[in-house]
Structure 1
Amino acid sequence: MCRWAAYRGDPLYLEELVSSPAHSLIEQSHCATRAKTATNGDGIGIAWYGDRPEPGRYRDILPAWSDCNLKSLARQIRSPLFLVHVRAATGGGTRRDNCHPFTHGNWSFMHNGQIGGFERLRRSMEAMLDDELFNVRSGTTDSELMFLLALQFGLCRAPLTAMAQMVSFVEGLAENILGHVHVRFTAAFSDGRSLYGIRYATDRKAPTLYASPMRQGHCLVSEPLNDDIDAWAEIPDGSAVTIGENGIEVAAFKPEKRISVAAGIAIPA
């Protein structure tokens, strides 16, 4: 399982999540406390928004604790909206194009979780992409493919609806091909204006997600950045979070699926 943190609000330096807190992302990369594996050393990635619509991005396969470039960038980059991810690979090799966050246009996305039986589902999932989105796929992870499918289902028009349709499609596909469904999906994504988060799993064992006010904004994290327990609210399993100009909102996230027997695949309802 991976660890990540995301922030939206008044600009602050990335180091305030990446390296400065007592339980920063760098600390979590070798000593996570609320994950199955304590070590997340298979890469690091940052996506941040500045003066341009599309995000800047830095990714490398070095463990976060030994990446001197990461510490330097985090100390210098100040942004009102950014996503940071330390990876523990559950599928796909340790290579730069498998490191989160993934980006396309003005969108950025990072994920913690997995799709059970992904290798048997991968071909059918890729077949749902149009040529443009299929051709921008550069890695081999289920995370990147889920992001591209969400774009295919209309992420730019209705972000949370598109994510629900993507998860519905994956679940229906698994039910048809594998005979069982196992999806764990805790993700953060942004269009550069709002920050979204989802915590969901078919087995009710979704990777953790917490929210907290920070300066004049809010952050979403896989696990708290310090020991101030009262400052962190755990986001319930089956929830969608939106952080925008009006603050933070939490709503139910429950994908509905419909099976097309004739086609043999799941079609989003």
Structure 2
Amino acid sequence: MDTDLQSKFASLLPHLYEPAARLYLGSEALSLGLGGKQKVSRLAGVSRVRTDKGIEALISPAPSGSLRTEQRIRKKSGCRKLLKEKEGGLMEALEAVIPPHTRGDPMNPLLFASNSLRHIEKALVGKGYKVSHVTIGELLKSLGYGLQANRKTAEGSSTPERDKQFEYINTTALTFMSSGAPVISVDCKKKELIGNYKNQGGEWEEKKHSPAVKEYDFAAKASGKAVPYGVYDIAQNQAWVSVGIRSATAAFAVNTLRTR
């Protein structure tokens, strides 16, 4: 499906004037439904701005005789070339800057550090590319990246070596994984009271038959606390959970690994 659509874009877009190209991109995005804009931008190799403008034109048609219907069609030479075409290797350089600083990718051992658009701009300019942080944001969106939470800086400027320890952990983890050695992450999940108490989540029940639980959560009256420990094998993409009833200590973490 994706291959066929990509072939259509490659064969049709070079022959369409800009207004028609936007309409075509917009119509394909609308037909795909949820996530269509991102998929169209990725397969066609265009910015989401062009797709958004096409969708806007489709859902709000101009009245007859308006300026939009009488627009002058630009010559092909009049369109600005895509920056990624003018700057050869830009997309590859951008993706090379991102991986060690990716946030939220479970397949990457390092999940702590993140790069701002300004930092990425500085890195690319240092490599000889002429690109602004605004354009970098658009390119990242076309690659499927999303905006992540910003970090607090009100306490003062951070040390230049802030990310060194995490980059070291990431490099070491990748070295172990490449040699076939196990690399795991262990974390303690949210503790839960044992008993008929309110917990997050839901159960399949008949409509209007919600399970009744105690109104107040008094730890002293509970049978104890369940302490879930999650273990994730990064290379094998496997995980398991052990549940204890004591404090989340190092001994419990070690025992969790041994029982596996």
Shared fold (TM-score, shorter chain, > 0.5): no
TM-score (ref. length: structure 2): 0.23
Q: Which has the higher contact order (CA 8 A, sep 6+)?
A: 1
TM-score (ref. length: structure 1): 0.22
Q: Report which of the two structures shows the higher radius of gyration computed on alpha carbons.
A: 2
Structure in which a larger fraction of residues adopt helix = 2
